[in-house]
Structure 1
Amino acid sequence: MLVFSKARLVFLSVPKTGTTAYETALSPLASMIISDPPELKHTPLYRYNRFFRPALEKFIGPDIDVIAVMREPVSWLGSWFRYRQRSFLHGHPNGTHDLSFDAFVAAYCQQTRPPFANVGSQAKFLEPTRSGTRVSRIFRYEDQPQLIAFLEERLEAKLDLSRKNVSPEIPLGLAPEIEDRLRHRHADEFALYASLA
Protein backbone atom coordinates (compact mmCIF):
# COMPACT_ATOMS: atom_id res chain seq x y z
CA MET A 1 0.00 0.00 0.00
CA LEU A 2 1.25 3.44 -0.91
CA VAL A 3 0.12 6.76 0.56
CA PHE A 4 0.66 10.11 -1.18
CA SER A 5 -0.28 12.81 1.32
CA LYS A 6 0.19 15.84 -0.96
CA ALA A 7 -1.90 14.23 -3.70
CA ARG A 8 -4.41 12.89 -1.12
CA LEU A 9 -4.17 9.46 -2.67
CA VAL A 10 -3.90 5.86 -1.42
CA PHE A 11 -2.92 3.03 -3.77
CA LEU A 12 -4.05 -0.35 -2.45
CA SER A 13 -1.89 -3.32 -3.46
CA VAL A 14 -4.14 -6.08 -4.77
CA PRO A 15 -1.94 -9.21 -4.98
CA LYS A 16 -0.80 -10.34 -8.45
CA THR A 17 -1.67 -7.05 -10.18
CA GLY A 18 1.81 -5.62 -10.75
CA THR A 19 1.92 -3.73 -7.48
CA THR A 20 5.61 -4.48 -6.82
CA ALA A 21 6.58 -2.67 -10.02
CA TYR A 22 4.42 0.31 -9.07
CA GLU A 23 5.82 0.31 -5.55
CA THR A 24 9.36 0.44 -6.95
CA ALA A 25 8.53 3.25 -9.36
CA LEU A 26 6.43 5.30 -6.95
CA SER A 27 8.37 4.87 -3.69
CA PRO A 28 10.36 8.11 -4.11
CA LEU A 29 7.07 10.04 -4.39
CA ALA A 30 5.21 8.30 -1.56
CA SER A 31 4.76 9.66 1.95
CA MET A 32 4.21 6.18 3.33
CA ILE A 33 5.19 2.79 1.89
CA ILE A 34 3.73 -0.31 3.50
CA SER A 35 5.67 -3.17 1.96
CA ASP A 36 6.08 -5.67 4.79
CA PRO A 37 4.66 -7.89 6.16
CA PRO A 38 2.57 -9.04 3.16
CA GLU A 39 -0.64 -8.85 5.22
CA LEU A 40 -0.08 -5.09 5.54
CA LYS A 41 1.34 -4.52 2.08
CA HIS A 42 -1.76 -6.18 0.64
CA THR A 43 -4.23 -4.38 2.90
CA PRO A 44 -7.77 -4.93 1.60
CA LEU A 45 -10.30 -2.11 1.71
CA TYR A 46 -11.98 -3.34 4.91
CA ARG A 47 -8.62 -3.36 6.75
CA TYR A 48 -7.68 0.04 5.30
CA ASN A 49 -11.03 1.38 6.54
CA ARG A 50 -10.55 0.01 10.04
CA PHE A 51 -6.88 0.69 10.71
CA PHE A 52 -5.47 3.24 8.27
CA ARG A 53 -8.32 5.53 7.15
CA PRO A 54 -8.98 7.10 10.59
CA ALA A 55 -5.33 8.09 11.05
CA LEU A 56 -4.86 9.28 7.46
CA GLU A 57 -8.02 11.37 7.56
CA LYS A 58 -6.93 12.91 10.87
CA PHE A 59 -3.55 14.02 9.50
CA ILE A 60 -4.18 14.45 5.76
CA GLY A 61 -7.87 15.30 5.60
CA PRO A 62 -11.16 13.59 4.77
CA ASP A 63 -11.10 13.71 0.96
CA ILE A 64 -8.58 10.96 0.21
CA ASP A 65 -9.00 9.02 -3.02
CA VAL A 66 -8.34 5.29 -2.86
CA ILE A 67 -7.32 3.51 -6.06
CA ALA A 68 -6.56 -0.10 -6.93
CA VAL A 69 -5.89 -2.40 -9.87
CA MET A 70 -7.94 -5.45 -10.77
CA ARG A 71 -6.86 -8.20 -13.12
CA GLU A 72 -9.14 -10.25 -15.39
CA PRO A 73 -10.15 -13.15 -13.09
CA VAL A 74 -8.81 -16.07 -15.17
CA SER A 75 -5.55 -14.22 -15.79
CA TRP A 76 -5.32 -13.40 -12.08
CA LEU A 77 -5.67 -17.07 -11.15
CA GLY A 78 -3.13 -17.94 -13.84
CA SER A 79 -0.65 -15.57 -12.23
CA TRP A 80 -1.17 -17.21 -8.83
CA PHE A 81 -0.80 -20.67 -10.38
CA ARG A 82 2.48 -19.70 -12.08
CA TYR A 83 3.78 -17.92 -8.99
CA ARG A 84 3.23 -21.03 -6.89
CA GLN A 85 5.22 -23.07 -9.42
CA ARG A 86 8.42 -21.38 -8.25
CA SER A 87 11.11 -23.73 -7.01
CA PHE A 88 11.09 -22.44 -3.41
CA LEU A 89 7.51 -23.76 -3.07
CA HIS A 90 8.36 -27.26 -4.29
CA GLY A 91 7.02 -29.72 -1.69
CA HIS A 92 5.20 -26.93 0.18
CA PRO A 93 1.39 -27.18 0.65
CA ASN A 94 1.06 -23.91 -1.32
CA GLY A 95 3.03 -25.25 -4.29
CA THR A 96 1.24 -26.00 -7.56
CA HIS A 97 3.88 -28.37 -8.94
CA ASP A 98 2.43 -31.54 -10.48
CA LEU A 99 -0.95 -29.80 -10.90
CA SER A 100 -2.71 -28.69 -14.06
CA PHE A 101 -4.26 -25.24 -14.28
CA ASP A 102 -7.66 -26.96 -14.53
CA ALA A 103 -7.01 -28.74 -11.22
CA PHE A 104 -5.90 -25.48 -9.61
CA VAL A 105 -9.01 -23.58 -10.75
CA ALA A 106 -11.30 -26.49 -9.79
CA ALA A 107 -9.77 -26.42 -6.30
CA TYR A 108 -10.26 -22.63 -6.15
CA CYS A 109 -13.99 -23.24 -6.82
CA GLN A 110 -14.36 -25.58 -3.84
CA GLN A 111 -16.21 -24.48 -0.72
CA THR A 112 -13.12 -25.28 1.38
CA ARG A 113 -9.99 -24.65 -0.65
CA PRO A 114 -6.76 -26.56 -0.21
CA PRO A 115 -3.79 -24.35 0.77
CA PHE A 116 -2.40 -24.11 -2.79
CA ALA A 117 -5.70 -22.64 -4.07
CA ASN A 118 -6.48 -20.42 -1.09
CA VAL A 119 -5.56 -17.15 -2.81
CA GLY A 120 -8.43 -14.90 -1.77
CA SER A 121 -10.71 -12.83 -3.96
CA GLN A 122 -10.21 -9.55 -5.78
CA ALA A 123 -13.91 -8.70 -5.35
CA LYS A 124 -13.71 -9.29 -1.59
CA PHE A 125 -10.45 -7.30 -1.37
CA LEU A 126 -12.18 -4.32 -3.04
CA GLU A 127 -15.64 -4.72 -1.49
CA PRO A 128 -17.11 -1.48 -0.08
CA THR A 129 -17.41 -1.46 3.70
CA ARG A 130 -20.61 -1.15 5.71
CA SER A 131 -19.51 2.35 6.71
CA GLY A 132 -19.56 3.42 3.06
CA THR A 133 -15.80 3.45 2.45
CA ARG A 134 -15.15 2.39 -1.12
CA VAL A 135 -12.39 2.42 -3.69
CA SER A 136 -12.65 5.68 -5.63
CA ARG A 137 -11.41 4.12 -8.85
CA ILE A 138 -10.39 0.64 -9.98
CA PHE A 139 -8.11 0.31 -13.00
CA ARG A 140 -7.89 -2.73 -15.23
CA TYR A 141 -4.49 -4.42 -15.03
CA GLU A 142 -4.75 -5.01 -18.77
CA ASP A 143 -4.95 -1.23 -19.41
CA GLN A 144 -1.68 -0.01 -17.92
CA PRO A 145 -1.56 3.22 -20.00
CA GLN A 146 -4.77 4.48 -18.32
CA LEU A 147 -3.35 3.91 -14.83
CA ILE A 148 0.02 5.43 -15.73
CA ALA A 149 -1.64 8.53 -17.21
CA PHE A 150 -3.76 8.94 -14.06
CA LEU A 151 -0.77 8.59 -11.73
CA GLU A 152 1.45 10.91 -13.77
CA GLU A 153 -1.21 13.61 -13.73
CA ARG A 154 -2.16 13.17 -10.08
CA LEU A 155 1.43 12.93 -8.79
CA GLU A 156 2.82 15.46 -11.28
CA ALA A 157 5.68 13.14 -12.19
CA LYS A 158 6.84 10.94 -15.05
CA LEU A 159 6.85 7.24 -14.26
CA ASP A 160 9.47 4.72 -15.34
CA LEU A 161 8.03 1.24 -14.84
CA SER A 162 9.83 -2.04 -15.17
CA ARG A 163 8.43 -5.50 -14.50
CA LYS A 164 9.05 -6.89 -11.03
CA ASN A 165 8.17 -10.13 -9.24
CA VAL A 166 7.25 -11.77 -12.55
CA SER A 167 5.97 -15.33 -12.42
CA PRO A 168 7.53 -17.92 -14.74
CA GLU A 169 5.94 -18.23 -18.17
CA ILE A 170 3.82 -21.39 -18.38
CA PRO A 171 1.20 -21.96 -21.07
CA LEU A 172 -2.23 -22.04 -19.48
CA GLY A 173 -5.38 -23.56 -20.87
CA LEU A 174 -8.69 -23.88 -19.10
CA ALA A 175 -11.26 -26.51 -20.03
CA PRO A 176 -14.65 -24.94 -20.90
CA GLU A 177 -16.47 -26.83 -18.13
CA ILE A 178 -13.95 -25.61 -15.53
CA GLU A 179 -14.23 -22.03 -16.78
CA ASP A 180 -18.04 -22.29 -16.64
CA ARG A 181 -17.81 -23.50 -13.05
CA LEU A 182 -15.48 -20.62 -12.17
CA ARG A 183 -17.74 -18.04 -13.80
CA HIS A 184 -20.77 -19.42 -11.96
CA ARG A 185 -19.12 -19.87 -8.57
CA HIS A 186 -17.33 -16.50 -8.66
CA ALA A 187 -19.75 -14.41 -10.71
CA ASP A 188 -18.98 -11.39 -8.50
CA GLU A 189 -15.37 -11.34 -9.73
CA PHE A 190 -16.40 -11.29 -13.38
CA ALA A 191 -19.20 -8.77 -12.78
CA LEU A 192 -16.85 -6.36 -11.03
CA TYR A 193 -14.23 -6.66 -13.74
CA ALA A 194 -16.85 -6.16 -16.48
CA SER A 195 -18.06 -2.99 -14.74
CA LEU A 196 -14.67 -1.27 -14.98
CA ALA A 197 -14.37 1.48 -17.58
Structure 2
Amino acid sequence: MLVFWKQRLVFLAVPKTGTSAYEATLGPHAAMTIYDPPELKHAPVYRYNRFFRPMMEKMGAEDMELLAVIREPISWLGSWYRYRQRGFLEGKPTSTRGISFDAFCDAYATGDRPPYANVGSQAKFIEPRPNGVSVSHLYKYENQIGLLGFLEDRLQMKIDLPRENVSPRRDLELSAQTEAKLRRKCAEDFEVWERAL
Protein backbone atom coordinates (compact mmCIF):
# COMPACT_ATOMS: atom_id res chain seq x y z
CA MET A 1 0.00 0.00 0.00
CA LEU A 2 1.21 3.47 -0.92
CA VAL A 3 -0.16 6.61 0.71
CA PHE A 4 0.29 9.94 -1.07
CA TRP A 5 -0.75 12.38 1.65
CA LYS A 6 -0.61 15.68 -0.22
CA GLN A 7 -2.33 14.20 -3.27
CA ARG A 8 -4.99 12.55 -1.04
CA LEU A 9 -4.49 9.18 -2.74
CA VAL A 10 -4.08 5.65 -1.37
CA PHE A 11 -2.84 3.01 -3.82
CA LEU A 12 -4.11 -0.35 -2.57
CA ALA A 13 -1.88 -3.33 -3.37
CA VAL A 14 -4.16 -5.98 -4.88
CA PRO A 15 -1.98 -9.13 -5.03
CA LYS A 16 -0.78 -10.25 -8.46
CA THR A 17 -1.54 -6.96 -10.22
CA GLY A 18 1.98 -5.55 -10.63
CA THR A 19 1.96 -3.42 -7.49
CA SER A 20 5.53 -4.44 -6.55
CA ALA A 21 6.84 -2.50 -9.55
CA TYR A 22 4.82 0.56 -8.54
CA GLU A 23 6.07 0.26 -4.95
CA ALA A 24 9.68 0.09 -6.16
CA THR A 25 9.23 3.21 -8.30
CA LEU A 26 6.81 5.30 -6.24
CA GLY A 27 7.75 4.23 -2.72
CA PRO A 28 10.37 6.99 -2.32
CA HIS A 29 7.73 9.59 -3.31
CA ALA A 30 4.98 8.30 -1.01
CA ALA A 31 4.29 9.71 2.45
CA MET A 32 3.77 6.18 3.72
CA THR A 33 4.70 2.80 2.23
CA ILE A 34 3.47 -0.42 3.80
CA TYR A 35 5.68 -3.35 2.80
CA ASP A 36 5.15 -5.75 5.70
CA PRO A 37 3.41 -7.72 7.00
CA PRO A 38 1.58 -8.95 3.87
CA GLU A 39 -1.79 -8.58 5.64
CA LEU A 40 -1.19 -4.81 5.84
CA LYS A 41 0.72 -4.41 2.56
CA HIS A 42 -2.19 -6.08 0.77
CA ALA A 43 -4.91 -4.50 2.92
CA PRO A 44 -8.26 -4.75 1.12
CA VAL A 45 -10.88 -2.01 1.33
CA TYR A 46 -12.43 -3.47 4.50
CA ARG A 47 -9.06 -3.51 6.32
CA TYR A 48 -8.18 -0.03 5.06
CA ASN A 49 -11.57 1.19 6.31
CA ARG A 50 -11.14 -0.41 9.72
CA PHE A 51 -7.51 0.42 10.51
CA PHE A 52 -6.03 3.07 8.20
CA ARG A 53 -8.97 5.38 7.45
CA PRO A 54 -9.69 6.29 11.13
CA MET A 55 -6.01 7.13 11.69
CA MET A 56 -5.84 9.30 8.57
CA GLU A 57 -9.06 11.08 9.37
CA LYS A 58 -7.73 11.94 12.85
CA MET A 59 -4.80 13.58 11.07
CA GLY A 60 -7.13 15.67 8.90
CA ALA A 61 -7.45 13.54 5.76
CA GLU A 62 -11.18 12.90 5.45
CA ASP A 63 -11.06 13.02 1.67
CA MET A 64 -8.56 10.29 0.74
CA GLU A 65 -9.36 8.56 -2.57
CA LEU A 66 -8.61 4.88 -3.12
CA LEU A 67 -6.91 3.56 -6.23
CA ALA A 68 -6.81 -0.15 -7.11
CA VAL A 69 -5.80 -2.29 -10.06
CA ILE A 70 -7.50 -5.55 -10.94
CA ARG A 71 -6.53 -8.17 -13.47
CA GLU A 72 -8.60 -10.28 -15.86
CA PRO A 73 -9.63 -13.12 -13.50
CA ILE A 74 -8.17 -16.07 -15.45
CA SER A 75 -4.89 -14.21 -15.97
CA TRP A 76 -4.90 -13.32 -12.25
CA LEU A 77 -5.37 -16.98 -11.32
CA GLY A 78 -2.58 -17.86 -13.76
CA SER A 79 -0.24 -15.51 -11.92
CA TRP A 80 -1.13 -17.12 -8.57
CA TYR A 81 -0.70 -20.58 -10.06
CA ARG A 82 2.75 -19.75 -11.43
CA TYR A 83 3.81 -18.02 -8.21
CA ARG A 84 2.86 -21.08 -6.18
CA GLN A 85 5.01 -23.28 -8.46
CA ARG A 86 8.16 -21.70 -6.99
CA GLY A 87 10.66 -23.90 -5.18
CA PHE A 88 10.33 -22.26 -1.77
CA LEU A 89 6.74 -23.59 -1.54
CA GLU A 90 7.62 -27.16 -2.52
CA GLY A 91 6.12 -29.68 -0.08
CA LYS A 92 3.79 -27.08 1.44
CA PRO A 93 -0.01 -27.27 1.15
CA THR A 94 -0.03 -24.01 -0.83
CA SER A 95 2.26 -25.36 -3.58
CA THR A 96 0.79 -25.97 -7.04
CA ARG A 97 3.62 -28.27 -8.10
CA GLY A 98 2.23 -31.42 -9.67
CA ILE A 99 -1.17 -29.76 -10.22
CA SER A 100 -2.36 -28.62 -13.64
CA PHE A 101 -3.68 -25.10 -14.15
CA ASP A 102 -7.06 -26.61 -15.06
CA ALA A 103 -7.17 -28.53 -11.74
CA PHE A 104 -6.09 -25.38 -9.87
CA CYS A 105 -8.91 -23.31 -11.42
CA ASP A 106 -11.43 -26.10 -10.86
CA ALA A 107 -10.43 -26.19 -7.16
CA TYR A 108 -10.62 -22.38 -6.96
CA ALA A 109 -14.21 -22.50 -8.23
CA THR A 110 -15.33 -24.88 -5.46
CA GLY A 111 -16.97 -23.78 -2.22
CA ASP A 112 -14.29 -25.26 0.06
CA ARG A 113 -10.98 -24.42 -1.60
CA PRO A 114 -7.89 -26.48 -0.79
CA PRO A 115 -4.93 -24.41 0.52
CA TYR A 116 -3.16 -24.30 -2.87
CA ALA A 117 -6.23 -22.67 -4.50
CA ASN A 118 -7.23 -20.41 -1.60
CA VAL A 119 -6.05 -17.08 -3.04
CA GLY A 120 -8.95 -14.77 -2.22
CA SER A 121 -11.03 -12.71 -4.63
CA GLN A 122 -10.37 -9.41 -6.36
CA ALA A 123 -14.07 -8.52 -6.08
CA LYS A 124 -13.98 -9.10 -2.31
CA PHE A 125 -10.71 -7.12 -2.05
CA ILE A 126 -12.32 -3.98 -3.46
CA GLU A 127 -15.83 -4.52 -2.04
CA PRO A 128 -17.33 -1.18 -0.88
CA ARG A 129 -18.07 -0.75 2.80
CA PRO A 130 -21.50 0.10 4.25
CA ASN A 131 -20.19 3.51 5.39
CA GLY A 132 -19.48 4.50 1.77
CA VAL A 133 -15.73 3.84 1.66
CA SER A 134 -14.96 2.45 -1.79
CA VAL A 135 -12.40 2.49 -4.57
CA SER A 136 -12.58 5.83 -6.42
CA HIS A 137 -10.23 4.87 -9.26
CA LEU A 138 -10.31 1.28 -10.53
CA TYR A 139 -7.98 0.34 -13.40
CA LYS A 140 -7.50 -2.86 -15.33
CA TYR A 141 -4.03 -4.35 -15.02
CA GLU A 142 -4.14 -4.66 -18.79
CA ASN A 143 -4.54 -0.86 -19.11
CA GLN A 144 -1.08 0.17 -17.91
CA ILE A 145 -1.10 3.23 -20.19
CA GLY A 146 -4.28 4.55 -18.57
CA LEU A 147 -3.02 3.80 -15.06
CA LEU A 148 0.35 5.43 -15.70
CA GLY A 149 -1.33 8.46 -17.22
CA PHE A 150 -3.56 8.83 -14.16
CA LEU A 151 -0.64 8.48 -11.74
CA GLU A 152 1.66 10.82 -13.67
CA ASP A 153 -1.07 13.46 -13.74
CA ARG A 154 -2.04 13.03 -10.08
CA LEU A 155 1.52 12.84 -8.74
CA GLN A 156 2.95 15.35 -11.22
CA MET A 157 5.91 13.16 -12.17
CA LYS A 158 7.19 10.92 -14.97
CA ILE A 159 7.05 7.23 -14.07
CA ASP A 160 9.37 4.55 -15.50
CA LEU A 161 8.36 1.12 -14.24
CA PRO A 162 10.77 -1.78 -13.72
CA ARG A 163 9.60 -5.41 -13.95
CA GLU A 164 9.32 -6.80 -10.43
CA ASN A 165 8.26 -10.11 -8.84
CA VAL A 166 7.67 -11.85 -12.19
CA SER A 167 6.47 -15.45 -11.87
CA PRO A 168 8.03 -18.21 -14.02
CA ARG A 169 6.30 -19.11 -17.30
CA ARG A 170 4.01 -22.14 -17.19
CA ASP A 171 1.41 -23.82 -19.38
CA LEU A 172 -1.95 -22.23 -18.58
CA GLU A 173 -4.31 -24.48 -20.56
CA LEU A 174 -7.89 -24.32 -19.38
CA SER A 175 -10.72 -26.58 -20.55
CA ALA A 176 -13.96 -25.00 -21.77
CA GLN A 177 -15.78 -26.79 -18.94
CA THR A 178 -13.51 -25.37 -16.23
CA GLU A 179 -13.63 -21.87 -17.73
CA ALA A 180 -17.44 -22.01 -17.80
CA LYS A 181 -17.46 -23.12 -14.15
CA LEU A 182 -15.13 -20.27 -13.20
CA ARG A 183 -17.26 -17.70 -15.02
CA ARG A 184 -20.39 -19.02 -13.30
CA LYS A 185 -19.03 -19.45 -9.76
CA CYS A 186 -16.84 -16.33 -9.79
CA ALA A 187 -19.13 -14.06 -11.83
CA GLU A 188 -18.57 -11.10 -9.49
CA ASP A 189 -14.83 -11.07 -10.25
CA PHE A 190 -15.49 -10.98 -14.00
CA GLU A 191 -18.15 -8.26 -13.58
CA VAL A 192 -15.83 -6.05 -11.52
CA TRP A 193 -13.04 -6.42 -14.07
CA GLU A 194 -15.42 -5.50 -16.90
CA ARG A 195 -16.39 -2.29 -15.06
CA ALA A 196 -12.80 -1.14 -14.47
CA LEU A 197 -11.18 1.49 -16.69
Q: Do the two structures share a fold, i.e. TM-score over 0.5?
A: yes
Q: Matches of 1:99 and 1:60 in 2, distance apart? A: 50
Question: How much does 1:60 deviate?
Answer: 4.1
Query: How many aligned positions are there?
Result: 197
What TM-score, normalized to structure 1? 0.98
Identical counterparts, % of pairs: 57
Partner residue in 2 for 1:117? 117
Verify the 8 A CA contact 1:8 1:60 in the aligned structure 2: no
Secondary structure in structure 1 of the residue aligned to 2:10: strand
Verify the 8 A CA contact 2:102 2:173 in the aligned structure 1: yes
1:139-190 alpha-carbon deviations (Å, 9 max, x no partner): 0000101111111111111112011010001121110000000000010001
1:24–1:60 Cα change, 3 Å: farther
Question: How much does 1:87 deviate?
Answer: 0.8
Verify the 8 A CA contact 2:2 2:32 in the aligned structure 1: yes
Q: Matches of 2:173 and 2:41 in 1, distance apart? A: 31
Code of the residue aligned with 2:154 in structure 1: it is R
Partner residue in 2 for 1:169? 169
Code of the residue aligned with 1:55 in structure 2: it is M
RMSD of equivalent CA atoms: 0.8
Verify the 8 A CA contact 1:3 1:33 in the aligned structure 2: yes
Q: Matches of 1:120 and 1:144 in 2, distance apart? A: 23
Q: Matches of 1:57 and 1:155 in 2, distance apart? A: 21
Partner residue in 2 for 1:103? 103
Partner residue in 2 for 1:76? 76
Partner residue in 1 for 2:93? 93
Code of the residue aligned with 2:104 in structure 1: it is F
Q: Matches of 2:88 and 2:192 in 1, distance apart? A: 33
5+ long unaligned stretches in structure 1: none
Question: How much does 1:137 deviate?
Answer: 1.0
Which runs of at least 4 in structure 1 moved beyond 6 Å after TM superposition?
A: none
Partner residue in 2 for 1:178? 178
Verify the 8 A CA contact 2:101 2:171 in the aligned structure 1: no
Secondary structure in structure 2 of the residue aligned to 1:136: strand
Code of the residue aligned with 1:136 in structure 2: it is S
1:42-97 alpha-carbon deviations (Å, 9 max, x no partner): 00000000110111122242111100000000000000000000011111110000
Q: Matches of 1:27 and 1:148 in 2, distance apart? A: 15
Q: Matches of 1:87 and 1:118 in 2, distance apart? A: 19
